[in-house]
């Protein structure tokens, strides 16, 4: 409170740095969640995919007979075939939009939308029908239930709107029945599938069943749900450079915070060097003075974090309105708080070095 302007500038620096860290961590986590959102929300314990497929979005077809082979393996309770493929949809006003088609079994709903705004997943059964997520409606020309769109050579009718299905690639996800997907997606064909999602029987661990499946099914890759989700996230995070870009921005924000807070505390220490010398002349130990400096740093960190948290919570809604996802969870908030404290405490160490060299005799010098 002694120097309000300087304190405000320091606080603004902390808030700026922490808000940037919040944004980068939150957006990164939102992107990673979107990259594996269908895997994470599909009921099943094991995924069978084509050989050497690097992620969920670009898996290749493989013969359907693997489905029957999988069912015969001990520990497999049930299995469902799933098609995920790329195609083009014609907009009402003209032009086309690239979409990601998901063909699932409407009778079980496995692989289909898990939350509906309008209609039900089984509405795509027995006809040329489709469901689209509400986040993609504007991109498809403000489409509404009952409208028709052409996908390939098929004219499909919109029968439902899902919620929460945001693709990492930003392409609209279109849900149709599995049988229709085999007819619409020509490169898949009538005798192939793209995924087999397996549910393990009671008393069997997914990891053990995976090993049994691998011994019987060749020329395909088999993962537990958790491993396949992580594989997809690591692909987008590491091999595309996205993870490094976000990490670099976070480190830069961290460094900016250290510089701003460090400069302020250091200048304050230098300006009050005689006062600190007086304390040492009165018998204060270095640790007593360290507490004063660290208290300033911690206070800046806590106030800056609280303000940044409030701003970031408002930003979540803004990002959602713009079609992006920014995730803020309790673990994320705690991690950012720890980073904020480390940032400010690291800045305080610059002043600590100055305090160590204070000679109480400074009081008697001109």
Does residue 330 fall inside a structural domain?
yes
The pLDDT score that the predictor gives to residue 323 is 66
How many angstroms separate the CA atoms of 36 and 83, rounded?
A: 15
DSSP single-letter state for residue 200: E
Does residue 190 fall inside a structural domain?
yes
Instruction: Kindly state whether residues 124 and 263 are assigned to the same domain.
Output: no
Residue whose entry in the numeric block shows the structure tokens 């230098």: 270
Percent of the chain with pLDDT over 90: 40
Q: Kindly tell me if the per-residue pLDDT of 123 is higher than 90.
A: yes
The pLDDT score that the predictor gives to residue 141 is 81
Instruction: Kindly state whether residues 169 and 89 are assigned to the same domain.
Output: yes
Does residue 195 fall inside a structural domain?
yes
- Report residue 229 CA to chain centroid gap: 12
Instruction: Kindly state whether residues 205 and 292 are assigned to the same domain.
Output: no
Does residue 114 fall inside a structural domain?
yes
Long-range contacts of 217-222 (CB under 8 A, 24+ apart): 217/48, 217/66, 217/69, 217/70, 217/73, 219/51, 219/62, 220/48, 220/49, 220/50, 220/51, 220/62, 220/66, 221/48, 221/49, 221/50, 221/51, 221/52, 221/53, 222/46, 222/47, 222/48, 222/49
Chosen domain end from 156, 187, 218: 218
Instruction: Kindly state whether residues 31 and 56 are assigned to the same domain.
Output: no
Does residue 307 fall inside a structural domain?
yes
Instruction: Kindly state whether residues 70 and 124 are assigned to the same domain.
Output: yes
| pTM attached to this predicted model | 0.81
Task: Give the model confidence (pLDDT) of 296-328 as tens digits.
Answer: 888 888 998 999 999 998 888 887 776 677 888
Q: Kindly tell me if the per-residue pLDDT of 70 is higher than 60.
A: yes
Between 187 and 118, residue with greater pLDDT: 118
Q: Give me the half-sphere count of Cα atoms (radius 13 Å) on the Cβ side of residue 103.
A: 27
Q: Give me the half-sphere count of Cα atoms (radius 13 Å) on the Cβ side of residue 217.
A: 29
Arithmetic mean of pLDDT, 48-75: 91
Q: What DSSP letter does each residue of 1-62 carry, written as one string?
A: --SHHHHHHHHHHHHHHHHHHHHHHHHHHHHHHHHTHHHHTSS-SEEEEETT--SSTT---E
Instruction: Kindly state whether residues 168 and 277 are assigned to the same domain.
Output: no
Question: Judging by DSSP bridges, how do beta strands 129-133 and 154-162 pair with one another?
Answer: parallel
Spatial CB neighbours of 126, under 8 Å, sequence gap ≥ 6: 177
Does residue 226 fall inside a structural domain?
no
Range of the domain at 98: 52-218
Instruction: Kindly state whether residues 189 and 68 are assigned to the same domain.
Output: yes
Instruction: Kindly state whether residues 62 and 142 are assigned to the same domain.
Output: yes
Does residue 329 fall inside a structural domain?
yes
Does residue 98 fall inside a structural domain?
yes
The answer to whether the beta carbons of residues 149 and 90 sit under 8 Å apart is yes
Instruction: Kindly state whether residues 176 and 56 are assigned to the same domain.
Output: yes
H-run or E-run covering 355: helix 330-356
The structural domain count of the chain equals: 2
Q: Which pLDDT band holds residue 66 (cuts at 50, 70, 90)?
A: very high
Instruction: Kindly state whether residues 65 and 185 are assigned to the same domain.
Output: yes
> Per the structure block, which two tokens stand in for 103?
């063909």
Instruction: Kindly state whether residues 31 and 133 are assigned to the same domain.
Output: no
How many angstroms separate the CA atoms of 66 and 197, rounded?
A: 11
Instruction: Kindly state whether residues 107 and 140 are assigned to the same domain.
Output: yes
Give which of 160, 164, 113 is closest to 320, Cα–Cα: 164
């Amino acid at each position: 409170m002694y120097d309000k302007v300087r304190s405000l500038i320091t606080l603004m620096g902390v808030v700026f740095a922490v808000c940037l860290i919040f944004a980068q961590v939150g957006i990164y986590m939102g992107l990673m969640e979107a990259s594996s959102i269908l895997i994470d929300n599909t009921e099943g314990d094991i995924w069978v995919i084509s050989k050497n497929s690097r992620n969920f979005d670009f898996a290749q077809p493989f013969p359907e007979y693997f489905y029957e082979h999988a069912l015969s393996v001990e520990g497999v309770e049930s299995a469902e075939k799933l098609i995920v493929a790329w195609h083009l949809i014609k907009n009402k006003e003209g032009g086309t939009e690239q979409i990601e088609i998901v063909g699932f079994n409407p009778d079980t709903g496995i692989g289909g939308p898990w939350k509906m705004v309008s209609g039900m997943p089984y509405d795509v059964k027995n006809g040329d029908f489709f469901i689209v997520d509400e986040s993609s409606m504007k991109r498809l020309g403000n489409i509404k239930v009952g409208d028709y769109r052409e996908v390939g050579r098929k004219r499909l009718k919109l029968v439902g709107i899902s919620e929460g299905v945001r693709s990492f690639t930003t392409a609209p996800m279109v849900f149709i029945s599995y049988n229709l997907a085999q007819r619409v997606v020509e490169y898949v064909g009538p005798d192939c599938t793209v995924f087999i999602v397996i549910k393990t029987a009671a008393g069997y661990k997914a990891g053990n069943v995976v090993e049994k499946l691998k011994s019987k099914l060749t020329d395909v890759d088999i993962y537990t749900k958790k491993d396949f989700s992580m594989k997809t996230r690591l692909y987008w995070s590491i091999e595309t450079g996205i993870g490094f870009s976000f990490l670099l921005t976070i480190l830069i924000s961290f460094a900016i915070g250290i510089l701003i807070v460090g400069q302020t505390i250091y200048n304050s220490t230098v300006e009050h060097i005689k006062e600190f010398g007086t304390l040492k002349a009165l018998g204060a130990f270095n640790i007593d003075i360290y507490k004063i400096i660290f208290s300033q740093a911690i206070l800046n960190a806590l106030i800056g974090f609280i303000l940044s948290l409030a701003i970031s919570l408002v930003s979540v809604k803004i990002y959602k309105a713009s079609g992006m996802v920014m995730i803020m969870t309790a673990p994320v908030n705690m991690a950012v708080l720890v980073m904020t404290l480390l940032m400010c405490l690291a800045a305080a160490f610059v002043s600590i070095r100055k305090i160590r060299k204070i000679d109480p005799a400074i009081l008697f010098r001109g």
